[in-house]
Structure 1
């Protein structure tokens, strides 16, 4: 039954990944269409009406692209300082975009005559009476790069990450099945995690789930939700998602900090980790002879460091976005937003793998975080060195420090 479900999920995620792949390489380059064609202070021209309006605005936008992307210079056909109507604009088919050196030289040759159009990516210095220095920037050409990365690259990268990892997990479950408890359940349990550890884990996990869902709505909601529920309903959903995203950032950060304090020492790398990774934790065989591990194996350590480092970076970048311009400018805010989104998508992929191996992926693993106790055979198969340490503590006379029901059976 599990493998049938895995096969269905594999087909579904494969189809979604194919859809993302096709969309990635066939989607149009995102652009912002202007509302009029005023150039160099000339009076606003009359926009076309009817079916020609969209085409005229799109063609007008073509002139605003970078000189290495928008085709040969329009010099000779248009005069700088003259308002241009949609009918006068060059058709896309006349000057196909190119980025070769010859095209660049053509644009550079017209720099002196048409400097308002061909100005380099940068800022024009001047005097402003605005009280805040950050408001003195009236035009930021680098925003075009940000828009392209944010609206196109980041969105499609998220699809590749999430659906790709989901497909890999489904295929692994289809081929491997659940990782069994080879020697079965013994009926004797040992304490795996304390109440504090479990409470902090679920605090961090639940906060991350809310942050992930609301973040995905903010990234993909306009494309996927708005056509289904309408603009008004989506506006309410997006607003609520933003408030929840901000509200749950604090408990997530708190959980990350507590996690780092209580588990840091036990997650430091060791030589055992290399041996565990070479054998992939013994997950590919049913012999029960898995590589030895202490309380946390190499896979769990990778998740720990990914969550701690990624969580702290997400918290720092999120704080920067919550208080814009407090310690950075608009350009750094743009890069911070991109980094925040990409890192969050990678974290979603990491947590998908963590959820899988802790639930349906491995028999007996979920009990560790649910009630804090695991079967002795599970501990022996997956964390043999840790179990040996518990047994040695018992033999050394430390048993009186714990209730008898929590002692490891020999």
Structure 2
């Protein structure tokens, strides 16, 4: 059972799914293991992830392990309709289409929950929150959940601190093979790819302001720097701000940074990063983009209230004409630019290969262990397995410690 925009798009979707499979060797290795072992036989897995070819490949991997898989999108603008149709044609239960209304968005989450999943795979925690707030009848049968992104982990940690979380969650986002690669290299490349593809704008020589210097912000700043931008970082954390400065970037307050910005990219996971009077100080032609999970970092209402006209001048680009004649440009409605913009394809398949491998193995970990109600990092053994499989797929060999070296490191009394 599926609800997608157009099943006639399935053939194109399957072609794209097969393309990413060629570039996701770790997940393909795990899929073959799952096909032999069938660890999820009799288990239903529900997911709320960005519905695109790489995500569908994760669903097919879980399906190969015997699971019934039901999937929906975690962002109304990030679904690829051809990939959704392709996944449905390949036997997954897919609910979602691009440009859903808020009502439709939560309706498709409930469509997935109608399958009564045993394990949840979430991105942003909307499905987990929906279960707790609207479908408490499912709480007694859910074994646990995996959470993909920083924003979702923060929400769930807050739930746990307040005693509201009712089942265990593996914070896949906190796995080293996720945040060191997906958050940094994936977000960095895909965000700049989407911005350049949507605007046809040159990055070199521009003042690019990156709001936030977590792992995603580091990646965006690094890619912009590599493209020849003059990178400026804004931060609230003194250690991260110091790190950004020592990485060679200018660091200043948002109010000062917006005055010289040609392009502003928010990557914080927090609300109202660009708001109110910030828009009054921006240069004519400044572009605004968000790479945080939710569309709350750039306050669209404040921007619209200060403008005298709004016009879509290019797909995924809105022009806001200010009272003094300046024109400011908002990309992808302030949503996740690397997936919601017209040219947004998400992270490269080689990056999501690791992240989704961690997801698949974490789902198996939930199945095989009686976990406490908590938000916990994926076991280091999963990280180690994924990293070694990735290195092998890349044709890279590394050294191992000798017995003597192992003994030396283990002996606290060993002299120099």
Same fold (TM over 0.5): no
Query: Which structure: larger Rg?
Result: 1
More helix by share: 1
TM-score (norm 1): 0.25
TM-score of the pair, normalised by structure 2 = 0.25
Q: Which structure has the highest strand share of the two?
A: 2
